[in-house]
Amino acid sequence: MNSAAGSSTPLEELYMDLHQNPELSFSEHRTSALIAERLLALGLDVTTGIGGTGVVGVLTTGEGPVVMLRADMDALPVKEDTGLPYSSTARGIDGNGTDVPVMHACGHDIHMAALLGALEQLVATRSQWSGTLIALFQPAEENGGGAQVMVDDGLYTKIPLPDVVLGQHVFPFPAGKLGAHPGPAMAAVDSLNVRMFGRGGHGSEPETTIDPVVMAAATVMRLQGVVAREVGAQEVAVVSIGSLHVGATSNIISDEARLGISIRSFDEGVRARVIDAVERIVTAEAMASGATTPPEFSYAERYPVTVNDPVASERTMAAFRAAFGEARMFDPGALTGSEDVGNLASAAGAPLVYWMLGGSDPEEYAAAESAGTIRSDIPTNHSPHYAPVMQPTLATGVEALVVAAREWLGSAAR
């Protein structure tokens, strides 16, 4: 259950502080300062400002493997509606200069708190292991490809190259459970921003305009056929229109429409085919509407498929099975959500192991599963109602990181 503030542990209080003070991508200034302070207090060598707001702590205890533990820091432009006593009321300025509500609607606060808790244990037991531990706190996973930005900013000229990259993501599975899917584990994502141009005018004289509302509406509906009619039954792809903005008042026909489109895929051939179809349909609908200016396309975050190294994953999951027991392990399958953690591993030439951490109340999840109402009753990541139960989620996340790190670090000389 989620703890009340009056009976919380120091780590739970840290988590609630992070939850109440979320920051948008590349604006994680308070968050990164707090993390840097914590890392310095633990005795790590700390480098700040990598990729803007990225923070990395390094601790070496002797010869041995170099192990990276990664957590992401950014939040989302979502207005929280969880009813929690530590709900976020924060606001921020998004990339368009708009004042928006901000919420940790994807659980990155759990990721940060769990990693800081794991570091406390690993530092306290440093006499028992040998090697180099890297704790990387990444900005802008949600919007901006912060992993690659850190790499491009010289990450691996500032810290050692890791031999393995480890991380976790809280997800609406039962709290206390965890597991990784070997091979392709999370989808590639291509986020596409589209501008469609019409000709504005008075709402009473639509015949003098080229209405971008009708143009955009026709486009949205036609895009629903991409997966249904251009992707095979054995292939996987998702096309979602997450934003549509046209006009400002009822009696003015606007000049343009803006669409935000998210494309997910696991196969490069499917990925290319879907992107081509989306661009083709947008262009064709603009022509069908009589637009005299072709649409503009700009891509935001573009992450590759997240691939868990099969051998490294099995080694890590074996350590989890020994520590947690078989009953708490599960295979989440390949998820259509996307992640950029793989860029940290590929840039280092290191295997990646990225596992799912259950965060839903086990009793509520079991009841919803029994009733067949998981989709409606269990809030998912990016929902304004999404809030992992604090425990046992946080304790499991801490222990998982410790177990995984100790599996890959060397043993101290006796």
Annotated binding site, which residues? 106, 108, 142, 169
Q: What is the DSSP string of 267-291?
A: SHHHHHHHHHHHHHHHHHHHHHTT-
141 CB contacts (<8 Å, ≥6 apart)?
Answer: 25, 72, 73, 74, 108, 147, 339, 340, 341
- Of the candidates 308, 11, 325, the one whose C-alpha atom is nearest the C-alpha of residue 165 is 308
Known binding-site residues for Mn(2+) equal 106, 108, 142, 169
Token digits of residue 159: 């810290």
Neighbouring-strand partners of residue 388: none
CA gap 253, 203 in Å, rounded:
6
Give backbone dihedrals phi and psi of 175, rounded to 5 degrees, phi first. Answer: -60, 140
Cβ(47)–Cβ(392) below 8 Å: no
Q: At what angle do helices 108-124 and 390-408 cross, to 10 degrees?
A: 50
Q: Which residues are catalytic?
A: 74, 141
Token digits of residue 50: 């990598």
